[in-house]
């Protein structure tokens, strides 16, 4: 995985998962089915908490953009953020602090929403 910044979609995995989810929706799949298809594709990465977090953040960002946030994705992302997912491996302290803030903003946003 390549990351070029601490923002939510500034890594290959999150960006690719987001695009893949949107493509499945454009092909007529429901949000639940598009989520299942996307996570199935990335299942080889789901053994590491950080990688699973990147995948689910990508899906969540796409769902938020398309106004179809599912309760499963909402709860999964909140849980992954609470457990410290996606906080390892940052090149600088500044990026690590920025990533932590970005994740907190997403968590707070998701905490105040309801999924479908």
Domain extent listing, the chain? 12-111
Residue 19: its pLDDT value, please? 97
Taking only the tens place, the pLDDT of each residue in 39-54 is 999 887 656 667 888 9
Summarised one tens digit per residue, pLDDT across range 60-92 is: 999 999 999 999 999 999 999 998 877 666 667
90 burial type by CB count under 10 A (0-12 exposed, 13-18 middle, 19+ buried): middle
For the beta carbon of residue 83, count every other beta carbon within 10 angstroms. 11
Cα–chain center distance at 53? 6
Please tell me the pTM assigned to this model. 0.89
The answer, yes or no, to whether residue 1 has pLDDT greater than 60, is no
Categorize the per-residue pLDDT at 116 as very low, low, confident or very high, splitting at 50, 70 and 90: confident
DSSP helix/strand/coil, 3: strand
Q: Give the number of other CB atoms < 10 A from CB of residue 26.
A: 10
Q: What is the pLDDT of residue 91?
A: 67
Asked whether the predicted pLDDT for residue 4 surpasses 80, the reply is: no
């Amino acid at each position: 995985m390549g990351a070029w910044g601490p923002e939510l979609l500034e890594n290959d995995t999150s960006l690719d998962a987001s695009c893949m989810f949107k493509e499945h929706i454009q092909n007529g799949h429901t949000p639940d089915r598009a989520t299942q298809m996307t996570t199935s594709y990335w299942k080889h990465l789901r053994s590491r908490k950080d990688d699973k977090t990147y995948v689910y953040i990508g899906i969540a960002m796409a769902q938020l953009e398309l106004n179809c946030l599912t309760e499963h994705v909402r709860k999964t992302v909140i849980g992954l953020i609470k457990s410290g997912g996606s906080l390892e491996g940052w090149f600088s302290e500044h990026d690590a602090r920025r990533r932590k803030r970005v994740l907190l903003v997403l968590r707070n946003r998701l905490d105040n929403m309801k999924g479908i």
